[in-house]
């Protein structure tokens, strides 16, 4: 089975190009694998339809063995990393009731679209900049890993990770160079996306990182780049530009 790696820090998911999903749940490090489109079943759909949410924006499952980590929120939706009882990971988009512009993932896989009754009319985290009141409409899709063109997730780094970066001068320098190269490499693709889709800006497209074995056979730029992972290891990976929240031109 295909695997991808993610590390969630302070309820944020940071990109790492390996073939496993690593995340923190209740302060404990856990592992998962990426759910393939063919692996999404009626059991997933039934479990999601029974979802509820706490007043702090945490997902509540009625079945045992399910976990979730909040990834982020924009003007239209909030996104969660969801892990099923078989340690398979996917993304769940919860759509806001007002202002949804049909922003979509492009060149990726959606698994399902469903209505979750207990999320309808529920207000998200009270301290959120984007104070969504959810419509109940949800999209299930593959979990894209990487960082947006708008920047990395350094504002969410823990003190431990910041200390590691200070010690790892070589890794920090190599990653800085790779990030600059990646931005240069994907610029033409970014311009094409802007021509073909509406609501395209740097926060809506991601530099997706692919492991060298590229289990999904995704297209990518031919030369790999070296990145410092959040666990302190340097790893080679391919990059591509993926639009995650844009609208098709009429």
Provide the pLDDT for residue 200.
86
In this prediction the pTM is 0.80
Q: Is the pLDDT of residue 11 over 50?
A: no
Domain boundary among 141, 174, 190: 141
In a domain, 213, yes or no: yes
Q: Give the residue, 143 or 92, on which the prediction is more confident.
A: 92
Structural domain including 74 reads 35-141
- Strands (DSSP E) contained in 26-133 are 28-34, 52-53, 59-60, 67-73, 77-83, 88-96, 110-115
Residue 2 predicted with pLDDT over 50: no
Whether the per-residue pLDDT at 158 is higher than 90: the answer is no
Once rounded to an integer, what is the mean pLDDT over residues 207-222? 88
- Answer whether 81's CB lies under 8 Å from 71's CB: yes
* Reported confidence tier of residue 111, pLDDT bands at 50, 70, 90: very high
Rounded distance, CA 147 to CA 16, Å? 10
Final residue before a domain boundary, out of 81, 107, 141 = 141
For range 24-52, the mean pLDDT: 85
The reported pLDDT for the residue numbered 180 is 93
Whether the Cβ atoms of residue 82 and residue 89 lie closer than 8 Å to each other: yes
Angstrom CA distances, 60 to 12, 50, 101, stand at: 18, 9, 27
Largest pairwise CA distance in the chain: 51
Q: Residue range 135-150: average pLDDT?
A: 88
Q: Are residues 79 and 160 in the same domain?
A: no
Q: Is residue 163 part of a domain?
A: yes
Q: Look at residue 62 in the predicted model and tell me its pLDDT.
A: 93
CA distance 51 to 91: 14
Q: Are residues 122 and 196 in the same domain?
A: no
* Mean confidence (pLDDT) of the chain: 81
- pLDDT for 56 equals 81
Instruction: Report the Cα 142 to chain-centroid distance in Å.
Output: 9
- The yes-or-no verdict on residue 1 having pLDDT over 90 is no
Q: Considering its fold, how many domains does the chain have in total?
A: 2
Distance of CA 174 to the CA centre of its chain: 24
Average pLDDT of the segment spanning 179-194: 94
> Is 199 in a helix, a strand, or coil?
coil
* 90 and 166 co-located in one domain: no
Query: Does residue 225 sit within a domain?
Result: yes
Is residue 161 situated within a structural domain?
yes
With a cut of 90, say whether residue 44 has pLDDT above it.
yes
Q: What string of DSSP letters covers 134-190?
A: EEEEEEEE----EEETTB-SGGG--HHHHHHHHH-HHHHHHHHHHHHHHHHHTHHHH
144 pLDDT band (50/70/90 cuts)?
confident
Let me know whether 123 and 154 are in one domain.
no
Say how far apart CA 195 and CA 13 lie, in whole Å: 29
Q: 96 and 158: one domain?
A: no
Rounded Cα–Cα distance for residues 47 and 8 (Å): 23
- Whether residue 28 lies inside any domain: the answer is no
The pLDDT assigned to 3 comes to: 45
Distances (CA, A) of 67 to 93, 205, 228: 15, 26, 27
CA distance 141 to 98: 22
Q: Is residue 192 part of a domain?
A: yes
106, 141, 176: which is the final residue of a domain? 141
Q: Which residues of 30-67 are buried (b: 16+ CB within 10 A; e: fewer)?
A: bebbbbbeebbeeebeebbeebebeeebebebeeeebb
Contact present, 124 and 133 (Cβ < 8 Å): yes
* Residue 121 scores a pLDDT above 80: yes
């Amino acid at each position: 089975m295909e695997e991808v790696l993610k590390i969630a820090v302070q309820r944020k998911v940071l990109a790492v190009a390996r073939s496993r999903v690593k995340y923190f749940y209740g302060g404990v490090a856990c592992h998962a694998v990426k759910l393939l489109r063919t692996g999404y079943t009626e059991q997933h759909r039934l479990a999601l339809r029974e979802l509820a949410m706490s007043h702090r924006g945490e997902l509540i499952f009625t079945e045992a063995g399910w976990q979730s980590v909040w990834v982020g929120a924009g003007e239209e939706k909030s996104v969660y990393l969801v892990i099923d009882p078989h340690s398979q990971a996917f993304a769940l988009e919860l759509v806001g009731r007002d202002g949804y512009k049909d922003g979509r993932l492009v060149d990726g896989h959606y698994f399902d679209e469903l209505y979750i009754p207990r999320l309808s009319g529920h207000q998200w985290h009270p301290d959120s900049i984007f104070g969504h009141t959810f419509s109940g409409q949800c999209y299930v899709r593959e979990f894209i890993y990487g960082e947006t063109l708008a920047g990395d997730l350094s504002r969410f780094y823990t003190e431990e990770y910041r200390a590691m970066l200070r010690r790892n001068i070589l890794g920090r320098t190599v990653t800085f160079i790779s990030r600059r190269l990646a931005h240069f490499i994907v610029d033409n693709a970014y311009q094409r996306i802007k021509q073909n889709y509406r609501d395209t800006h740097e926060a809506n497209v991601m530099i997706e990182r692919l492991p060298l074995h590229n289990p999904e056979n995704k297209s990518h730029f031919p030369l790999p780049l070296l990145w410092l992972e959040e666990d302190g290891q340097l790893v080679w990976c391919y990059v591509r530009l993926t639009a995650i929240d844009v609208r098709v031109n009429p």
